[in-house]
């Protein structure tokens, strides 16, 4: 077993499984946060349920582990690739078979990670480690929407760049996960590529709608 985990394919399988788990999280997180468009009460009720449900506390630990595994193994695999090929081949890197995303997965991952840290400071930290919500000074809804105003236009830009990077990362990672897990054959390859791109588009556009909606609605108040 430890031989498998230490092998190159073992590490890729761990990356794929943790990545697929993170994609599930994204679908739940997107659905929850799209409720901001429904209204303040609906969003606050859902956010409160998520924050107080004991099952969510366990899931939060699993989620943190999923992120950690995914990040640590991406670092290990990238370092391995770099040391395995210390001198770059004298061939054009922009080959026909490799997409921009596939050549820049690590950079995309890094952008996503940095934005995620900012995001956790913006929301998670304020909800879990301050008295803002408990004291009634803030609601989850206000915390989310106050960030996407003309005054903080740069947050809207940062978040949208984040969501585009996330879409590109998801698009490529779904394809390579299916490949690593051996779930592709000639017929399914085309279907999975399509489904992967559709999922990436839904995630990217779905999240982008939220800051854009609140920024634009501030102009029409």
Q: Smallest distance from the beta carbon of 83 to ligand HEM, in angstroms?
A: 29
Distances (CA, A) of 17 to 20, 81, 93, 218: 5, 20, 28, 41
**Closer by beta carbon to ligand HEM, 10 or else 106:** 106
**Closer by beta carbon to ligand HEM, 58 or else 79:** 58
Query: At which residue do the structure tokens 């582990």 appear?
Result: 65
Give the residues lining the site for ligand HEM (CB under 6 A): 29, 33, 47, 50-51, 60, 63, 112, 116, 119-120, 123-124, 127-128, 140, 144, 159, 166, 207, 210-211
Per 3-state DSSP, the chain is made up of helix, strand and coil in percentages (nearest 5) of 80, 0, 20
Distance of CA 83 to the CA centre of its chain: 28
Q: Smallest distance from the beta carbon of 181 to ligand HEM, in angstroms?
A: 22
**Closer by beta carbon to ligand HEM, 10 or else 110:** 110
Q: Smallest distance from the beta carbon of 85 to ligand HEM, in angstroms?
A: 30
Contact 32, 47 (CB under 8 A): yes
- Please count the CA atoms within 13 angstroms of the CA of 3 that sit on its side-chain side: 0
Q: Smallest distance from the beta carbon of 105 to ligand HEM, in angstroms?
A: 15
**Closer by beta carbon to ligand HEM, 24 or else 75:** 24
First to last CA, the chain: 60
């Amino acid at each position: 077993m430890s031989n498998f985990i230490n092998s190159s394919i073992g590490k890729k399988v761990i990356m794929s499984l943790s990545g697929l788990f993170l994609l599930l999280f994204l679908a739940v997180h997107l659905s929850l946060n799209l409720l901001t468009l429904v209204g303040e009460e609906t969003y606050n009720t859902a956010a409160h349920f998520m924050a107080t449900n004991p099952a969510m506390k366990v899931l939060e630990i699993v989620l943190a582990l999923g992120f950690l595994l995914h990040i640590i193994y991406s670092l290990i695999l990238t370092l391995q690739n770099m040391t395995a090929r210390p001198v770059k081949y004298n061939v054009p890197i922009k080959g026909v078979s490799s997409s921009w995303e596939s050549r820049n997965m690590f950079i995309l991952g890094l952008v996503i990670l940095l934005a995620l840290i900012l995001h956790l400071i913006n929301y998670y930290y304020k909800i879990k480690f301050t008295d803002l919500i408990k004291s009634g000074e803030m609601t989850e809804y206000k915390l989310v929407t106050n960030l996407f105003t003309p005054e903080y236009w740069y947050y809207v830009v940062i978040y949208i760049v984040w969501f585009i990077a996330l879409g590109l990362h998801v698009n490529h990672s779904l394809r390579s996960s299916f490949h690593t897990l051996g779930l592709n054959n000639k017929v399914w390859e085309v279907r999975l590529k399509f489904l992967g791109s559709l999922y990436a588009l839904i995630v990217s556009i779905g999240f982008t709608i939220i800051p854009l909606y609140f920024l634009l609605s501030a102009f029409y108040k």
